[in-house]
Structure 1
Amino acid sequence: MDDSGLPQAWEVRHSNSKNLPYYFNAVDKVSRWEPPQGTDTEKLKKYMAAHHSASQGLNTARPEGKIRAAHLLVKHRDSRRPASWREAQITRTREDAMSIIRGHEQKIRSGGTTLGELAMSESDCSSARKRGDLGYFGKGDMQQEFEEAAFGLQPGQMSSVVETASGLHLIERLE
């Protein structure tokens, strides 16, 4: 294990298509969005913050028909992929995940923090490194429930809890 906290043969690479880091095993030629089994998650968090945090400038022109949104995702054991950069295996129940995300929603709505600040440490999506920013997307790019909620918001508005196969989301329309 190196300073990244990843098991031997694993490394962090960057996806050009999604503009996000991912995990790659150079021996087995396997890639994945979530850290592999055996990862030291505390070391990985520090490594990712130092080497893969989002401080790139964002495109200022909005593509036609697309919006930009950020989200905070809380997965549970029945989520489509119950693993994240934070936890190799997520075992919490849907009810526990709902309790967690409602707590996040309350903190954001009370003005105690922002969705972007909270997403960096609490979101189970790899977009956490970019303050939950998913970039621009159009109709048909996201899961239906997510898309309907995101397109229904005005810039600056945040959704209530949205449930998809991926887990529970709070969505903030950015543009």
Structure 2
Amino acid sequence: MDAQSGLPANWEVRFSRSRKLPYYYNSQTQESQWVPPTNTDGEKLKQYMASKYPPETNTAASGRSEKVRASHLLVKHKDSRRPSSWKQAEIVRTKDQARELLQNYRDRITAGEISFADLASTESDCSSARKGGDLGFFGAGEMQKSFEDAAFALEVGELSPIIESDSGLHIILRTA
């Protein structure tokens, strides 16, 4: 673990010139991703980002933007607003089954078994799965209220508890 950034070994923060955003790069595997890797020390990363990146490039630290960036993993159930997904034409699981499934996913992420992005890309019922669950930046009024409130309440790098919305059940990772 890097003592300054809180990132696991071989990971570093790089800056995307095209998107004008920081991202995470593994020098050993040459993998890059927009979300912090599994086993990152969120508090150290937050301090590192605030010290390394000026407010213009770090919207979470600037206080000048009313937008956040987050990724999510959605598990729909039969009572969801649209009980279908890219994975299944008709979702028939109950809300309790969805909650149990999502809690298992959350436990695996927090235990360091799998990264959020890897799990979201295979298990999320949202089309954002193809981007590792990344929803990009969004502001007030752009998401369902329960989801938005939870995302804005998180610190960068923090994972939410299970959040319920009309779309289903989510876990959210705030990324900026």
TM-score scaled to structure 1, two decimals? 0.65
Deviation at 1:65, TM superposition (A): 1.3
SS of 2:141's partner is coil
List alignment gaps of at least 5 residues for structure 1. Answer: 1-56
Counterparts of 2:173 and 2:117, CA distance in 1: 9
Q: Partner of 2:150 in structure 1?
A: 149
**Rounded Cα–Cα distance in structure 2 between residues aligned with 1:101 and 1:85:** 17
Q: Secondary structure at the match of 2:157?
A: coil
Query: CA offset at residue 78 of structure 1?
Result: 0.2
1:121 partner SS = helix
SS in structure 2 of the partner of residue 111 of structure 1: coil
- Give the drift of 1:132: 0.2
- 1:93-142, Cα deviation, whole Å (9 max, x unpaired): 11110110010011011111121110000000000000000000001110
Q: Equivalents in 2 of 1:109, 1:92: separation in Å?
A: 24
Aligned residue identity for 1:100: L
Determine the structure 2 residue equivalent to 1:134: 135
- Which structure has more helix as a fraction of its residues? 2
* Paired position in structure 1 for 2:101: 100
The equivalent of 1:164 in structure 2 is 165
Q: Which amino acid aligns with 1:124?
A: D
Describe the SS at the equivalent of 1:128.
Answer: helix
The 2-side partners of 1:59 and 1:92 are apart by 41
- Counterpart in the other structure of 1:90: 91
Residue 113 of structure 1 is matched in structure 2 by 114
**How far apart, CA to CA, are the structure 1 residues paired with 2:97 and 2:20?**
37
State the one-letter code of the partner of 2:156.
P
Cα distance in structure 2, aligned partners of 1:114 and 1:69: 15
Distance in 1, matches of 2:173 and 2:118, equals 12
Q: Which amino acid aligns with 2:174?
A: R
Partner Cα separation in structure 2 for residue 136 and residue 80 of structure 1? 23
3-state SS of the aligned residue for 1:168?
strand
Consecutive unaligned residues in structure 2, runs of 5 or more:
1-17, 22-56
Go from structure 1 to structure 2 and tell me whether the alpha carbon gap of 1:102 and 1:65 turns closer, same or farther (over 3 Å shift): same
Cα distance, 1:64 vs structure 2: 2.3
**TM-score w.r.t. length of structure 2:** 0.65
Q: How many residues align?
A: 119
**Runs of 4+ with >4 A deviation:** none
Matched residue type, 2:169: L
1:44-59 equivalence runs, <5 A = 58-59=19-20
Q: CA offsets per residue over residues 69-106 of structure 1, 9 Å max, x none?
A: 00000000000000000001101111110110010011
